[in-house]
């Protein structure tokens, strides 16, 4: 077993230069949440932020997005209509993913699934 020390972490997380710009350290889209579940996408977003991702955007049904936005003023949460992710949301999700890829200059990632629930509507949209 290897003990993770401050010295090891300092090698991984190098100091940031003063000349950096927004998105130099990436953009993460977190797609998840539902009427009942907002914690998982919120925790994913906060973890990404702590790990050094510049910009984290959460895309979730309105109730979950509102709750997630209240966790931090730096967390951008985009509300989708309805209580669950469905096929009607796919166009906006794909558009936001494409936009993220462009603005982050290839340093974008997507985390999808946390808190989505298991409704047939959501399963049909994902599959």
The pLDDT > 90 percentage for the chain reads 54
Average of per-residue pLDDT across 39-43: 93
Sheet holding 76-80, edge to edge: 76-80, 55-61, 27-31, 108-112
CATH 3.40.50 fits 29-126, yes or no: yes
* pTM (2 d.p.): 0.83
| pLDDT at residue 83 tops 80 | yes
């Amino acid at each position: 077993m290897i003990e993770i020390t401050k010295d090891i972490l300092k090698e991984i997380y190098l100091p940031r230069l003063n000349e950096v710009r927004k998105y130099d350290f990436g953009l993460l889209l977190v797609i998840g949440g539902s009427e009942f579940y907002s914690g998982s996408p919120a925790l994913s977003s906060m973890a990404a932020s702590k790990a050094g991702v510049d910009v984290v955007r959460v895309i979730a049904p309105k109730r979950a997005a509102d709750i997630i936005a209240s966790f931090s003023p730096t967390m951008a949460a985009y509300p989708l209509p309805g209580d669950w992710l469905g096929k009607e949301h796919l166009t906006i999700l794909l558009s936001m993913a494409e936009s993220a890829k462009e603005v982050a200059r290839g340093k974008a990632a997507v985390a999808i699934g946390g808190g989505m629930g298991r409704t047939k509507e959501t399963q049909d949209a994902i599959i």
